Structure 1
Amino acid sequence: MLYFKSYKRSLTLVKNLQKQIENEAQNDSPPHQKREKIISFLKNKFDFQQSHLRPAAPSNNGILSKCQEYDAPDQARELGIYPYFRKIEGARGAHVAIDGRWVITVSTNDYLGLTRDPRVIASAQEALEKFGAGCTGSRFLNGTLSLHKELEDELSSFLGREDTIVMSTGFQANQGTIACLLGRKDVAFSDRENHASIYEGCAVAPGKTIRYRHNDMDHLEYCLKKFKDVPGKLIITDSVFSMSGDIANLPGIVKLAHDYSACVLVDEAHGLGVIGEGGRGVTDHYDLTREIDIYVGTFSKSLGSIGGFVSAGSKVIDYIRHKASAFIFTAALPPASVAGVSAALDVLMSEPERIERLHENTAYVKKGLFELGFQVNNNSVPIVPLKIGDETLTLFLNQLLFEEGIFAGVAVSPVVPPFNAMIRTSYTASHTPEDLDCILAAFSKLGRQLGVIPA
């Protein structure tokens, strides 16, 4: 990650630099020249360095020495452009309070605006009163409540699956499931842009993992051919990729799974509540419910809470229930979270207009960003990454957006490939037309000012 050295944290500094940049890049310069002038100016001004590539200094202090030597975040904090762990002091709709002021968030995954829905909160409060703050044990022993089983049955019915198991996080659902299913002689085929939880599961499992090029069916088939004689093959993909907002080519994956006798696991973290009939995900969108062997989901996006689940055939779920170490040795999802998710699922099923509003907001903002000159993906996914490229410029733009009242996400290497830094935005049913216009105005102003889009 590109960071900076020896500057005091100061918003005044950021504003002064903004004025200097305006002087460095004249408004009549072509956009690409303006952009290059700005990048050159920033790098010369900040004496940047590639901290993630810098070798650690020799040390005899043992295993913790790397912690003492790791100073990249400190460098960014000193400058005042460190973009992570901002403290949210309150929330209402698509607005959050940070540092004593309200800003519009475009970094949330609360796609349907259910996190603060009164019915969800009331259900969570009722469970809190009845069952207490936690389960103080794993599902395997004393941590299974009637609430867990009720939610599992509701999810199975909603998704048209035989059985479901609820876990404490979405990360755990992927990691635990893959780790227990992938045996020593088995092979997993995983999209290169899959979520980290999938790769953690593959890393823990004794089997072999092959990474195929992102959404590339030709390369996936090439990989499958190399292992065509292996009986145990599992193709794993996100349904919606969390950084790019791309939708997986599930029809292509299912065809190859049939051709090469492979099973398919789909992580619907960003598809559930967003795509498909009633928000049942990309699997439903392509009418492939019966073709997907394992459906993994999370409660931390559209359902507004925390937790994860796996839906599949009853024998598969029973195997995971008794073999997944990540599930067996983790405390159960707390009562309030379970009840809140159950209420959110009820709202999802009874109020399809929330998904319609989400799609309307997504289409509106994508059209606006495209007309400004940004490249956007042409689908209904509310994840809208804006590739800036240069990491220095991206971090600076993110801070200026915050000063304009827009709380956005930022992704730099190694989360994305080097020189592919992006402002990651996401939109919800809670955003009002006024919110969206403010967001577009901020991107228009700063994008032109920094040479990211044409003037």
Structure 2
Amino acid sequence: MTEGISQPDQPETLEGGSKDLFSKFDDIIQMREGLLASGIEDPFNLVMEKVLSPTRAICNGRDTILLGTYNYMGMTFDPDVIDAGKQALADFGTGTTGSRVLNGTYQGHRECEEALKEFYAMDHAMVFSTGYLANLGIISTIAGKGDYIILDIDSHASIWDGCAMGNAEVVPFKHNDVEAMEKRLRRLPEDAGKLVILEGVYSMLGDVAPLKEMVAVAKKYGAMVLVDEAHSMGFIGENGRGVVEDAGVIDDVDFIIGTFSKSVGTVGGFCVSNHPKFEILRLVCRPYVFTASLPPSVVATAETSIRKLMHGHNKRAHLWENSKRLHKGLTQMGFELGTKEPQSAIVAVIMPDLEKGAMMWEALLKEGLYVNLARPPATPANMTLLRCSLCAEHSDEEVGTILGMFERAGKATGILGQTSDQSEGS
């Protein structure tokens, strides 16, 4: 048992009869304590004692292959990126101690925004302190009371939180269903403000949105379109601009949201746009105005990484090969995956339940492989997933090793049949 956490059989009221504000978490407390009581290592509290490269770290004293870090393009150890951060740290110090609208805009912030505008060929770019704040800020600022937000039911938590903060009317539709989206739009008042929010790649299953069809429908009903490209920037599209580029709709969307914590390899968020009034957001967007700006060393690494991603064709090609190989190998073993074909750098392996998923996660960790254990309510349809995030720096040998680890762990936990002999890399 974890010390300091109330047990489910304890009273849910405090002295004086007040409701225990933590009682709403009792189900999650029970779930966590049930896993720990079974002897499984806490899958939500892994410590990396030393990071060796974009694909390996020391976890619990063991050399571990990293397959759950979102470090898609492997930029975290790029020598040019590291040197840029060191130089900015020496030249500008450790932090700005202020927001962007006060003393928090340094030369590096402007240079990072210029790199984003060049990368996307857009007129405007705003850098936020995290990708979460980018969604929270842009969505809550442009869609408010009396407006409508039409969004995919499987949208990221930061998108839902941006909707709640802005107090717009939220109209969800079935995941990736173009017809369902159009039905919702058709019912809305013609003269109302409407914002359609989509994601290029959905982070749980790694599936891609049919943006070409969806953007066309949104424009048909006069809606603005915001696309979150957090999990496709740098990788998908000829120039790495995401699914909007790959689908040929980049000039038709109004806002693209992204993050630095995936392919860029650092931390931060951004929005790019061609909207002529976009710059006013710097004065009215609360999560931008009232948050300290990113440290100079962070924006320097981001700017350098973004400019290098413009020339990342070979890395993109290798990452696609890694994704295809892992997807094919796991399918041949008999694992159930989140997509029938590889659609992104995310390969989601569907587990029978949380207990089996945690057992499989631990078995893989003991093999020397780290993946994400994703559980409800973050996952669609109450699924438990082992979410694999491939990296352009994973070698062919590492992918083969990963497949062997999955087969051994799958057999050891009973998730795979003992007669499976079709795997690659075994």
1:412 maps to 375
1:387 match: secondary structure: strand
Q: Tell me if the contact between 1:310 and 1:317 (Cα under 8 Å) persists in the aligned partners.
A: no
Q: Tell me if the contact between 1:412 and 1:418 (Cα under 8 Å) persists in the aligned partners.
A: no
Per-residue deviation, 1:447 = 1.8
1:453 match: secondary structure: coil
Per-residue deviation, 1:232 = 0.5
Per-residue deviation, 1:143 = 0.1
Q: Which deviates further from its counterpart, 228-237 or 143-152?
A: 228-237
Segments of 5+ residues of structure 2 without an aligned counterpart are 3-7, 420-426
Per-residue deviation, 1:72 = 4.3
Q: How does 1:284-323 map to 2 (within 5 A)?
A: 284-313=245-274, 315-323=276-284
CA deviations on 1:282-306 (whole Å, 9 max, x unpaired) are 1110111110110111100000000
Moved over 6 A (4+): none
Equivalences, count: 405
2:32 to 53, 73, 85: 73
> What TM-score do the two structures reach when normalised by structure 1?
0.85
The verdict on how the C-alpha distance between 1:417 and 1:313 changes in structure 2, with shifts beyond 3 A counting, is closer
Q: Distance in 1 between matches of 2:369 and 2:134?
A: 32
AA in 1 matched with 2:80: R
AA in 1 matched with 2:200: S
2:194 to 233, 243, 258: 233
Q: Tell me if the contact between 2:12 and 2:19 (Cα under 8 Å) persists in the aligned partners.
A: no
Q: Distance in 2 between matches of 1:168 and 1:120?
A: 18
1:387 counterpart = 2:350: yes
1:443 counterpart = 2:406: yes
AA in 2 matched with 1:415: A
2:57 maps to 96
Q: Tell me if the contact between 1:173 and 1:308 (Cα under 8 Å) persists in the aligned partners.
A: yes
Per-residue deviation, 1:85 = 2.0
Q: Distance in 1 between matches of 2:284 and 2:9?
A: 40
Q: Distance in 1 between matches of 2:308 and 2:385?
A: 33
Q: Distance in 1 between matches of 2:291 and 2:10?
A: 35
CA deviations on 1:334-361 (whole Å, 9 max, x unpaired) are 1111000111112212332111111111
Q: Distance in 2 between matches of 1:55 and 1:244?
A: 36
Q: Distance in 1 between matches of 2:92 and 2:276?
A: 30
Q: Distance in 1 between matches of 2:275 and 2:186?
A: 30
1:250 counterpart = 2:206: no
1:315 match: secondary structure: coil
1:59 maps to 13
2:71 maps to 110
1:197 to 158, 182, 204: 158
CA deviations on 1:123-179 (whole Å, 9 max, x unpaired) are 000000111100100001100011111111121121011110111000000010000
AA in 2 matched with 1:373: G
Q: Distance in 1 between matches of 2:117 and 2:266?
A: 19
Q: Distance in 2 between matches of 1:440 and 1:167?
A: 38
Q: Distance in 1 between matches of 2:349 and 2:279?
A: 42
1:73 match: secondary structure: helix
The verdict on how the C-alpha distance between 1:441 and 1:253 changes in structure 2, with shifts beyond 3 A counting, is same
AA in 1 matched with 2:232: G
2:22 match: secondary structure: helix
2:44 maps to 84
Q: Tell me if the contact between 2:316 and 2:392 (Cα under 8 Å) persists in the aligned partners.
A: yes
Q: Which deviates further from its counterpart, 231-240 or 441-450?
A: 441-450
AA in 1 matched with 2:409: L
AA in 2 matched with 1:255: A
Q: Tell me if the contact between 2:254 and 2:275 (Cα under 8 Å) persists in the aligned partners.
A: no
Q: Tell me if the contact between 1:187 and 1:230 (Cα under 8 Å) persists in the aligned partners.
A: no
Percent of residue pairs bearing the same amino acid type: 33
2:390 maps to 427
1:384 match: secondary structure: strand
1:143 counterpart = 2:104: yes
2:76 match: secondary structure: coil
Q: Distance in 2 between matches of 1:64 and 1:139?
A: 39
Q: Distance in 1 between matches of 2:115 and 2:343?
A: 26
Q: Distance in 2 between matches of 1:183 and 1:385?
A: 35
2:174 to 178, 192, 213: 213
AA in 2 matched with 1:394: G
Per-residue deviation, 1:226 = 1.2
1:364 counterpart = 2:325: yes
Segments of 5+ residues of structure 1 without an aligned counterpart are 1-5, 8-53
1:153 maps to 114
2:231 to 255, 258, 270: 270
CA deviations on 1:42-79 (whole Å, 9 max, x unpaired) are xxxxxxxxxxxx79842215576527964543443342
1:270 match: secondary structure: coil
AA in 1 matched with 2:48: I
1:12 maps to none
Per-residue deviation, 1:229 = 2.3
Q: Distance in 2 between matches of 1:254 and 1:55?
A: 51
Q: Distance in 1 between matches of 2:376 and 2:9?
A: 16
Q: Tell me if the contact between 1:97 and 1:103 (Cα under 8 Å) persists in the aligned partners.
A: yes
